[in-house]
Amino acid sequence: MNAPDDASRRWEPLLAQLERVADPAADETVARIVGTWDALPSDTDAQTLRTTHGEQWKRLAQATALLSNLGPNGSLANWQAQAPDVDPDVAQAVQDYVRAQQALPAWADIAKLQRAETLFIDHGPLSCILLFCASLPECYVLPDLATVLHRAGQLEQRTEYRIRSTAAMIFPVMMRGGLSDASGTGRSQILKVRLIHATIRNLILHGDPQDAYGTPDAAGPKTVPAHPALADTPGMHAAMFAAGWDVGRSGLPCDQEELAYTLLTFSYVFLRSMRRLGLGLAAADEEAYLHCWNVTASVLGVNDALMAHTMDEAQALLAMMQARARGPVDGPDPRPALGQALMRAMENSIPIGWLKPFAPLMTRYLCGSGTATLIGVNDRASPVARVLFELTLSLTRLIDTLARRVWPQFSLSRLFTRILGYHLITQLLMDQTRSLRLPTHLMAHADAMLDQWSEDAHAPGWVNALEDRLTTSGSWRN
């Protein structure tokens, strides 16, 4: 069977249909919370806008605060939305949403989920490197998805916040028992992210996305006016509400295709990158990892039909989605600014001077020159650094091949990615002085993971000693 042809027959009609669909369950919840937005002309002054819509923004903030109180997976079915000074209607809407959406899909395989968790933990720092240098860069290929991030200012101005908020979902999902155990917190984090997506859609569209393609009173796709007067108003709510959006041209923000694509960057792109580094997993392990993220996608509101279950399917689906998105971009292209901001954040977190160029070069290697060009990082490193990187890769492969005759699990690739991973993890993810402090319960689990990752159990002692000189001696949590 020809995988690309089969994918076209299976997914192309579905993608065309679901680009008009977002997430009805979460969107209805946000619509309950905010009600109807008053239509105001684009030249309305900031004070009038804040006065008119301030109460609705406040209700959204109350919903976000309620979600921060979600407990472990086992508590969600009977969760009570209670907090002082929260509108009872907001509390009821959020409670109904959590209770209705918290369950795993019936097809979830607990054994596969547990295997995926083990794989993530076993590969430790490499899992985080691939998030920084492969998954996040591939996220920015879709122009409309990049536009939402650009307008929120989260990558150019709040790069670390975006990285940490992504990790705040990935870690709880992939830690021990994240999805598979009642004590895990993966589902809580997914439900928070899902309602954030719905909030973004409602703010950008000034209403329920289900009405964006026309209602009995307004035929045709919706065009939402921008409100430049809010440009200097802090906060995501104002930024999203002020952005403006043309549904006929850009479709729905964070639609089904974009949600499914994002989850593929966390599953397929991770596995593809492992292969490119010469650390590919067994087919059964790859499928367990894909399954874990398909379960995550389902809890996140993605249609089950938009899921790939094998690497061939995932490769074909990702390529199709990217091909659909590679046409001309209307207006300024936000992708280079996002990619360069991500590279700067990584480079600034690496104290070893000669390692700094490895962030954009690793991104180019793992994602390919096409993606690297789209996100503005293809020429970020000097020609000398590029040659050094290529020589290092070639020499690493040669040494690994020879050394594995003596030490079967020896890997210089793993050593280099562990060194780079240590600096990115400790600087970008675990530093609690930075924006978006990770939750206390998540920090406790993350500290335990760092203890596990402090020494490579598969490497000989001299390799761990070399690693200590370039990272830290003892536990990584210090």
**3-state secondary structure (DSSP) of residue 69:** coil
Give the best-scoring range by mean pLDDT among 17-21, 187-191, 448-452: 187-191
For residues 442-458, b (16+ Cβ closer than 10 Å) or e, as one string? beebbeebbeebbbbee
What integer pLDDT is reported at residue 462 of this predicted model?
79
What integer pLDDT is reported at residue 1 of this predicted model?
39
What integer pLDDT is reported at residue 433 of this predicted model?
47
Rounded distance between C-alpha atoms, residue 130 and residue 413, angstroms: 13
pLDDT reading at 335 higher than 70: yes
Under 8 Å CB-to-CB from 166, ≥6 apart: which residues? Answer: 131, 136
pLDDT reading at 336 higher than 80: yes
Average pLDDT over residues 446-456: 73
Q: Check the CA dihedral 204-208-212-215 and report its sign.
A: negative
What integer pLDDT is reported at residue 2 of this predicted model?
45
- 78's tokens: 């009977």
What integer pLDDT is reported at residue 359 of this predicted model?
84
Contact between 160 and 435 (Cβ < 8 Å):
yes
Mean of per-residue pLDDT scores for the chain? 84
Give the best-scoring range by mean pLDDT among 32-36, 65-69, 431-435: 32-36
For residues 404-426, b (16+ Cβ closer than 10 Å) or e, as one string? eeeeeebbbbbbbbbbbbbbbbb
The band of 436, judged by pLDDT with boundaries at 50, 70 and 90, is: very low
Which among 223, 46, 167 has a CA at the least distance from the CA of 426? Answer: 167
Q: Which residue has the higher pLDDT, 189 or 475?
A: 189
Beta-carbon-side half-sphere exposure of residue 413 (alpha carbons within 13 Å):
22
pLDDT reading at 285 higher than 90: yes
Rounded distance between C-alpha atoms, residue 48 and residue 39, angstroms: 12
Which among 316, 187, 203, 304 has a CA at the least distance from the CA of 254? Answer: 203
Contact between 280 and 270 (Cβ < 8 Å):
no
- Share of the chain residues as helix, strand and coil, in percent rounded to the nearest 5: 65, 0, 35
pLDDT reading at 424 higher than 90: no
Contact between 421 and 126 (Cβ < 8 Å):
yes
Under 8 Å CB-to-CB from 205, ≥6 apart: which residues? Answer: 212, 222, 224, 245, 247, 252, 253
Using alpha carbons only, what angle is made at residue 351 by residues 347 and 355, rounded to the nearest 5 degrees? Answer: 60
pLDDT reading at 209 higher than 80: yes
Q: Which residue has the higher pLDDT, 446 or 37?
A: 37
What integer pLDDT is reported at residue 124 of this predicted model?
74
What does the pLDDT look like over 219-278, one tens digit per residue?
678 888 889 888 777 777 888 888 888 888 888 888 899 999 999 999 999 999 999 888
Rounded distance between C-alpha atoms, residue 221 and residue 408, angstroms: 59
Contact between 60 and 199 (Cβ < 8 Å):
yes
What integer pLDDT is reported at residue 440 of this predicted model?
61
What integer pLDDT is reported at residue 117 of this predicted model?
92
Q: Which residue has the higher pLDDT, 157 or 381?
A: 381
For residues 24-46, b (16+ Cβ closer than 10 Å) or e, as one string? eebbbbbbbbbeebeeeeeebeb
The band of 89, judged by pLDDT with boundaries at 50, 70 and 90, is: very high
Q: Which residue has the higher pLDDT, 339 or 293?
A: 293
Which among 186, 166, 163 has a CA at the least distance from the CA of 174? Answer: 186
What does the pLDDT look like over 45-77, one tens digit per residue?
888 988 898 899 999 999 988 998 898 999 999
Under 8 Å CB-to-CB from 270, ≥6 apart: which residues? Answer: 127, 130, 131, 134, 135, 289
The band of 432, judged by pLDDT with boundaries at 50, 70 and 90, is: very low
* DSSP annotation string for 277-316: TT-PPPHHHHHHHHHHHHHHHHHTT--GGG---SHHHHHH
Q: Which residue has the higher pLDDT, 288 or 379?
A: 288
What integer pLDDT is reported at residue 43 of this predicted model?
87
